[in-house]
């Protein structure tokens, strides 16, 4: 994230107005991985995330 001048603490901003969220099915990761496309401080960014198991 440092390479792209992004701060992990700002990641929730992407979920305020997400442009797209979709399941990453490229391979079996052993968990569901999601790709989120959205805006962070006026820039379009892609984040990869998973949801914690209950």
Sign of CA dihedral 23, 29, 30, 33: negative
Distances (CA, A) of 51 to 7, 33, 42, 48: 20, 8, 25, 11
What residues does each domain of the chain span?
2-49
Tell me what pLDDT residue 52 has: 84
Is 3:22 a contact under the CB 8 Å cutoff?
no
Tell me what pLDDT residue 28 has: 95
Determine phi and psi for 52, rounding to 5 degrees.
-65, 145
User: Tens-of-pLDDT digits for all 54 residues of the chain?
Assistant: 677 778 888 888 888 888 999 999 999 999 999 999 999 888 899 999 998 887
């Amino acid at each position: 994230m440092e390479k792209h001048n992004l701060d992990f603490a700002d990641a929730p901003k992407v979920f305020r107005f997400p442009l797209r969220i979709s399941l990453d099915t490229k391979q079996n990761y052993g968990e569901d991985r999601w790709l989120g496309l959205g805006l962070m401080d006026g820039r379009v960014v892609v984040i990869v995330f998973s949801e914690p198991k209950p």
